Homo-oligomer: A and B are copies of this chain.
Amino acid sequence: MKKLINAVDDVLAESLDGFAAAHADLLVLGEGRKFVRRRTLVPGKVALVSGGGSGHEPLHAGYVGPGMLDAAVPGQVFTSPTPDQVLEAAEAADTGAGVLLIVKNYEGDVMNFEMAAELASMPVERVLVNDDVAVEDSLYTTGRRGVAGTVVVEKIVGAAAERGADLARLKALGDSVNAATRSMGVALTSCTVPAAGRPMFEIGADEMEFGVGIHGEPGRRRDTLRNASTIAEEICAAIAADFGALDGRQALLFVNGFGATPLMELYLMYNAARSRFERHGVSIARSLVGNYVTSLDMAGCSITLSLLDGETLPLWDAPVKTPGLRWGA
């Protein structure tokens, strides 16, 4: 294992300390490093809280800040945060309008966020993200996995929260953005969790994992590595088939790197995916290309298509100021 770390047990703590110091203008680290919270809360705004296992940076802590999350709860690498972490984050972020939990669909996350919600004294709603069309059940998941589409949900719901939408409205919006968002990924290499010290899975020099999850979970099949166009063709076809009719719709096309794939390849995949979706009649109104929901040092990428409408497009465009996603008015 080749990593820029000190002791394996200290990786998350030292990384969070660096993260909090680098972004001290935007956020603070909670006691015991249990959560990351915006430095300045907006009174009366619904608090958005997300989280999950670490190793997907900038997700989730990197999306804390004006226009997106109020707090994020980092678990150990690829491990759900505990219910008390989630509860403390919710309490620290709530300003009286309630808390919306944005949860990726993994059994541990679902259970621990649910326990926190039951213990919470403020009104709590939950949006479950399950955008991965690759497989129906998986290693840690009943149903579909929540992957890169989580960023889209957090961004759009975050903008609506900033504009004063109430808890019920944000819950409905989050559910509808999730329903309008589909993803699928491919891995060329495995990733290595520091504490394990070895790759999550074995993969041959000429192989890819088609439909991989963001923790290296198996996808649809192990196959010989194909060229970019062939991979894009199949992923886009799977996403389009899952949507059903796409003709005449406008969408965000999001090509997400898993951590070790050069931007050059991600833009090449974007190019391949864009032409395929356009053939399905989709108008690509917005684009996002880069490492936004990673899997440590895994090589590969996912493609996400998220349909936008007259309400959600301006919310996507609204200002955001977080370590991982940032733009002005």
| Copies per assembly | 2
Asked whether A294 and B263 contact (CB < 8 A) given A6-B229, A18-B274, A229-B6, the answer is: yes
Smallest CB gap from A186: residue in B: B4
Distance in Å: Cβ of A275 to nearest Cβ of chain B: 9
Determine which residue in A186, A206, A208, A267 has the highest number of CB atoms from chain B within 10 A of its CB, and name it: A267
A260 to B264, CA, bound (A): 13
A271 CB contacts on chain B under 8 angstroms: 14-15, 17-18, 21
Interface pair B270/A18, CB less than 8 Å apart:
yes
Interface of chain A: mostly helix, strand, loop or mixed: mixed
* Residues in chain A within 8 A of chain B (CB atoms): 2-7, 11-12, 14-19, 21-23, 54-55, 57-58, 62, 77, 186, 188-189, 205-206, 208, 225, 227-229, 231, 253, 259-272, 274, 284, 287, 289, 291, 294, 296-297, 299-301, 319, 321, 326-329
Selected A-B contacts with CB under 8 Å, 16 pairs:
A3-B188, A4-B268, A4-B300, A5-B265, A15-B268, A21-B284, A54-B264, A55-B264, A57-B262, A57-B267, A259-B263, A260-B299, A262-B294, A264-B296, A321-B327, A328-B329
